[in-house]
Structure 1
């Protein structure tokens, strides 16, 4: 029986641990918090998982909350005008529904399942020196903890990382009491509100520790009018600021949000980080090698909602690579090949996300505008969140965009 150590108990680490466990591997999972501490702590993320990522969970029978979480059937885009108007406002329909489950719910539940199924769960923060010790005792060590000292083992890949500082300041509130969007009162949709030169406001239905809720999520251009959350410690003040900015920049969303309350005292989050692609192999002082997973090696800005989707797809790809490798050693070549297989997909996410962080070129503005009159364009844009590779075929190149618009408007 091959022994594998996974450090980090987020979407990718836990999904991979449970997947390997189900295939008979002896898996140890290291994390710095208990399930109880996670469940009772602060929110850790925004997350909206689209149909392909959700299917990876179903394949492993890890979709514990599928019947409880709101089914998200659309994705809408609004663009704010300078006077509180919205010259662009449309919604595309998803081919398969999306869902969002608060990571406090999911990670705590999955950790408990891993332990109940006989997995070795070690609640202890891990430093590089700890991994140096453990690497000699395991066939493979995977690092799936995207923050802290361990990430420094994986050098930045400058050729794949165009930004060296944060492009957005993030501010998240989990709330109860949000009214429906009048345009689609009968189904749930993620709403993306673009405020040119200022930032973005995303609204998504979720399942949290107390039941169904909604996430209000500002992404502000650093130094701009939305960049006011740093240092705000009081959750109520955080929500007050969120709503004040909604009233100013996205009044149509404020109208349905004016009566909201936080789901719980841990329901807010603020921060920023630079989107970065890193080299996938970390070298320990003793010469041992470890392989980085998901956002340890490919960390995108949340503007395209791909973090948990990437994590699920990375875990699924790595699981296949490990199982297919059989009894052979997990050497440097295998690690690089395993990452390259995942990057074949992830490069499309990184390209698209980095493009969305920059001011949109004219042909992209034309596409977003045309989606308001042409439902096929709106639907294709919405379903690109599930399969970002499709954007290569129509979104980035002005000629491809023009040809596509001509084909659907004829």
Structure 2
């Protein structure tokens, strides 16, 4: 029986460990926290998983909360008009507002719920669970005991083993300041009160507000998530440790920049004392293989090797897709050695999808070019365009066909409207 070590108990590490376990591999999972510590700790992400990622969980019969979590059937974009970007203004109006229908529903399950539940399941199924932080020296030792070492812990000393891939990394510093609040009591959108949707509110020159329904430790809830341009008015959460102050600041900024969303917040309260999160990080693509001091190797997983800004909501989706790609690569490899050539081929398999996520995310972090603004604006009057943009969040590869190139965008809009494009 092949022995595999997975370091890190997030979406990708746990999904991969449970998948390998189901195929008879002897799997050890290392986590720096127990399931109970995760369950009672602070929120970790704004996860919204679209159809493809959810299907990977279904395939492994890990969709334990699918019947409980809200079914997100749409994704909408609103764009604030110029007053929203003016100092001291709270009279912003939407110049664009639409919702596209998803072909398959999305869902969000608080990672405190999912990761703790999956960790308990892994242990109940006979997996070896080690609660201990891992250092490079630990991996050096373990690489001699296991056939394969996988590192899915996206922070700390271990990540430094995987060098930056400058050819695929567009940034050297954070592009957004992030602030998250989980709340109960958010009123429905009056325009579509019976539809759960992810809402993307774009405030030009300031940042973005994302809102999505979720399932948390205390039941159904909503996530309020600000992404602010560094140094701008949304970059205001550093040093805010008190959860109540964090929520108050979140709501004040909503009143100023997205008053149409603030109108829904009269009854909101935090889900729990751990329901806030803030920070920032630099998007990066790293080399997938780490060379350990004793000559052993480790393969990076998900955020360890491809860490994108959450502006496109791809983090948990990419983690799931990485776990699925690696699982298939491991199963197909059989009893052969997991050497560096194989590790790089496994990463290349994941990069086939991850490259499109990285390109889409990097594009959304910049100033939108005119043809993208035209697409977003046209979607308000053209449901097929709205639907295609919405479903691109499930399959970002589709954006290659109509989103990045002005000529392709013009041709696509012409095909929808029946207009003629000049050669």
Whole-angstrom CA distance in 2 between matches of 1:341 and 1:50: 20
Per-residue CA deviations over 1:340-377 (Å, capped at 9, x if unaligned) read 01101110000000000000000000000000010000
Per-residue CA deviations over 1:119-147 (Å, capped at 9, x if unaligned) read 00000000000000111000000000001
Q: Give secondary structure in 2 for the equivalent of 1:160.
A: coil
Aligned to 1:49: 49
How much has 1:258 moved relative to structure 2?
A: 2.8
Aligned to 1:9: 9
Whole-angstrom CA distance in 2 between matches of 1:241 and 1:164: 28
Per-residue CA deviations over 1:388-408 (Å, capped at 9, x if unaligned) read 000000000000000000000
Whole-angstrom CA distance in 1 between matches of 2:310 and 2:248: 22
TM-score, with structure 2 as normaliser: 0.97
Whole-angstrom CA distance in 1 between matches of 2:392 and 2:335: 38
Whole-angstrom CA distance in 1 between matches of 2:394 and 2:82: 31
Whole-angstrom CA distance in 2 between matches of 1:129 and 1:184: 55
Aligned to 2:158: 150
Q: Give secondary structure in 1 for the equivalent of 2:277.
A: strand
Aligned to 2:282: 274
Q: Say which of 249, 255, 261 aligns to 1:253.
A: 261
How much has 1:203 moved relative to structure 2?
A: 0.2
Per-residue CA deviations over 1:217-249 (Å, capped at 9, x if unaligned) read 000000000000011000000000000000000
How much has 1:383 moved relative to structure 2?
A: 0.2
How much has 1:182 moved relative to structure 2?
A: 1.1
Whole-angstrom CA distance in 1 between matches of 2:337 and 2:141: 19
Aligned to 2:236: 228
How much has 1:64 moved relative to structure 2?
A: 0.2
Aligned to 2:78: 78
Whole-angstrom CA distance in 1 between matches of 2:205 and 2:301: 33
Q: Say which of 96, 106, 128 aligns to 1:98.
A: 106
How much has 1:14 moved relative to structure 2?
A: 0.1
Per-residue CA deviations over 1:234-280 (Å, capped at 9, x if unaligned) read 00000000000000000000000132100000000000000000000
Aligned to 2:129: 121
Aligned to 1:324: 332
Aligned to 2:202: 194
Per-residue CA deviations over 1:142-194 (Å, capped at 9, x if unaligned) read 00000111000000001101110000000000000000011111110000000
Aligned to 2:24: 24
Whole-angstrom CA distance in 2 between matches of 1:201 and 1:148: 28
Per-residue CA deviations over 1:6-30 (Å, capped at 9, x if unaligned) read 0000000000000000000000000
C-alpha contact (below 8 Å) 1:206/1:212 kept by paired residues? yes
C-alpha contact (below 8 Å) 1:6/1:13 kept by paired residues? yes
Whole-angstrom CA distance in 1 between matches of 2:267 and 2:157: 41
Structure 2: unaligned runs, 5 residues or longer: 84-91, 419-423
Aligned to 2:87: none
Runs of 4+ with >2 A deviation: none
Q: Give secondary structure in 2 for the equivalent of 1:6.
A: strand
Q: Say which of 168, 183, 187 aligns to 2:191.
A: 183
Q: Say which of 165, 188, 193 aligns to 2:173.
A: 165
C-alpha contact (below 8 Å) 1:243/1:258 kept by paired residues? no
The reply on whether 1:107 has 2:127 as its aligned counterpart is no
Whole-angstrom CA distance in 2 between matches of 1:231 and 1:268: 13
C-alpha contact (below 8 Å) 1:201/1:218 kept by paired residues? yes
Q: How well do the aligned residues superpose, as a CA RMSD in angstroms? A: 0.4
Aligned residues: 410
Q: Give secondary structure in 2 for the equivalent of 1:359.
A: coil
Whole-angstrom CA distance in 1 between matches of 2:380 and 2:295: 56
Whole-angstrom CA distance in 2 between matches of 1:235 and 1:308: 24
Whole-angstrom CA distance in 1 between matches of 2:153 and 2:214: 24
Whole-angstrom CA distance in 1 between matches of 2:265 and 2:198: 15
Q: Give secondary structure in 1 for the equivalent of 2:167.
A: helix
Whole-angstrom CA distance in 1 between matches of 2:41 and 2:356: 33
Aligned to 1:240: 248
Aligned to 1:369: 377
Q: Give secondary structure in 2 for the equivalent of 1:170.
A: strand
Whole-angstrom CA distance in 2 between matches of 1:344 and 1:286: 31
Structure 1: unaligned runs, 5 residues or longer: none
